[in-house]
Amino acid sequence: MKAIEITQDHKISIVERAVPEISSTEVLVKPTRCGICGTDLHILHHGFVGTHYPCTPGHEFGGHVVAVGKDVQGLKEGDFVAVDPNVVCGECRWCKAGRPNLCVQLAPIGVGRFGAAAEFVSVPSRNAFRVKQSIGDGAAAMIEPLACALHAVESSQGVRGHNVLVFGGGTMGMLIALAAKAQGAGSVAIADPSPAKLLIARQVGIPIAKTPSEFNGDPFDIVFEAAGVTGALTQAMGLLDKTGTLVQVGVHDEDKMVPFNPFILYEREHKFIGSNSCAKQFEPAVDFIEDIKTQTEALIGKTFSVWDFEKAVNSMSSGEAVKTQLRFD
């Protein structure tokens, strides 16, 4: 089969490789659509924690089951599935504590093991979730980022009735805003410097969409930093109301430092909470995507053939589209 391969020296190539052999508890999936995101750019340009090179990227995907291991129950050939890429050990302290995203042996598909930018990909059956065909290829490949967004909202310890501000109108920020709205936030606003993103935010039902500098007045109960930019984090801290919660979703460089004022943290009883990956929110995301299918599809910008991976990555770097996806036709 053909597969995309990224080597540690930042090169992308199309390689020929044997179709993966599946274990008794795995299924073989033929991808139909795969999103690319900042993680893929990190894998390509710098290296990302847990990456195994050569790496076949692709961790946001859906597809059809084409073979089933002998011990697999509940899945059969032909099923349309979305895949939680986070393959965990199930044995460590964090897995046992119900925190699989913190597993010490985490090996995500498309990062620590071969991903979906290939004709076939092997998937542990417990990571494959059957979805209705009517969800469509594009939205099915948005379930993984949606699950991360749901975990971010879960990490905030509840948005109901609260005024929420989301920094970043990328895939994460938009999906967090949509999830917060659906979960009964009092109001939801998005801050992004890109006029194109602000327009899309309004189109998907987030009318308070403004540039960061326009948020200089009233404070918010909950602020999500989903831009991954230090300036956004600094501004986010300054916009927290008393008892406010800041959820750190954006992934900063590992050695990046940001000054914060401990007196304000104490005096205003702020909470700073990190949110990492999708935790146990994949199944809820499979359900929730049905409610926001139209909005989710509006976030999908250009699609490229998987074999044009480099073109797709370059287009994504231009920053115009919210989500760029790979097709397999």
Ligand X SMILES: NC(=O)c1ccc[n+]([C@@H]2O[C@H](COP(=O)([O-])OP(=O)(O)OC[C@H]3O[C@@H](n4cnc5c(N)ncnc54)[C@H](O)[C@@H]3O)[C@@H](O)[C@H]2O)c1
Which residues contact ligand X (rule: CB under 6 A)? 37-38, 148, 167-173, 191-194, 197, 212, 226-229, 231-232, 249-251, 275-277
Q: Find the binding residues for Zn ion in span 29-48 (CB under 5 A).
A: 37, 39
Give the C-alpha separation, 105 to 96, whole Å.
13
Within a 10 A sphere around the Cβ of 241, how many other Cβ atoms? 16
222 binds, among ligand X, Zn ion, none (CB under 5 to 8 A by kind): none
> What one-character-per-residue DSSP string does 188-227 give?
EEEE-S-HHHHHHHHHTT--EEE-GGG--SS-EEEEEE-S
Of residues 149, 194, 142, the one with CA closest to residue 168: 194
The answer to whether 224 and 165 are in contact (CB under 8 A) is yes
**Comparison of 76 and 256: residue with beta carbon closer to ligand X:** 256
Of residues 140, 114, 139, the one with CA closest to residue 129: 140
The answer to whether 285 and 130 are in contact (CB under 8 A) is no
**Comparison of 22 and 148: residue with beta carbon closer to ligand X:** 148
The answer to whether 232 and 252 are in contact (CB under 8 A) is no
Catalytic residues: 39, 42
CA angle 143/114/274 to nearest 5° reads 50
The binding track of 102-131 with respect to Zn ion, each residue x by CB under 5 A or -, is -x----------------------------
CB of 236 to ligand X, least distance (A): 8
The binding track of 63-102 with respect to Zn ion, each residue x by CB under 5 A or -, is -------------------------xx--x--x-------
CB of 227 to ligand X, least distance (A): 4
CB of 141 to Zn ion, least distance (A): 10
**Comparison of 62 and 212: residue with beta carbon closer to ligand X:** 212
**Comparison of 6 and 208: residue with beta carbon closer to Zn ion:** 6
State the residues that interact with Zn ion by CB under 5 A: 37, 39, 60, 88-89, 92, 95, 103
